[in-house]
Structure 1
Amino acid sequence: MKQPYHDPWARREAWRYHPIFSRSAQLRGAFPGLGIATAAFATYCVVEHFFFKKDDHHGHGHGAH
């Protein structure tokens, strides 16, 4: 019976296929605070929309700019 193919460089190339070097891990590492920043900005927008309503007619007479 034949022996299985033995690649002498297989151990040195194995790091390339480790999950930490995948494309998704690299993209996640490129923008480390993006998720937290997006959640914080969305929360800010919701709070501003519901709690800080702008009163357009306060203090302006007709013809005031």
Structure 2
Amino acid sequence: MEDRLNRTEEEVAHLRRAVDDLSDMVARQTREIDLLTRRVAMLLERAAEAEAEGGGTVPLADQKPPHW
């Protein structure tokens, strides 16, 4: 009985460690996704500004695709 309890406690400890590791990974990925989202938004703004300055037409991002 005691052996079974020890194995169960050991398994719970491993599972807690795995949950903590996964939680850290998700937090790290969330920060990275937020950073990348901000960078993409900035790049889209820069591209739209460059298009507006260059041609005076509707920015490509605001144009409807040809099949619409």
TM-score by length of 1: 0.49
Bigger share in helix: 2
Name the structure, 1 or 2, with higher relative contact order (CA <8 Å, separation 6+). 2
Bigger-Rg structure (1/2): 1
TM-score by length of 2: 0.48
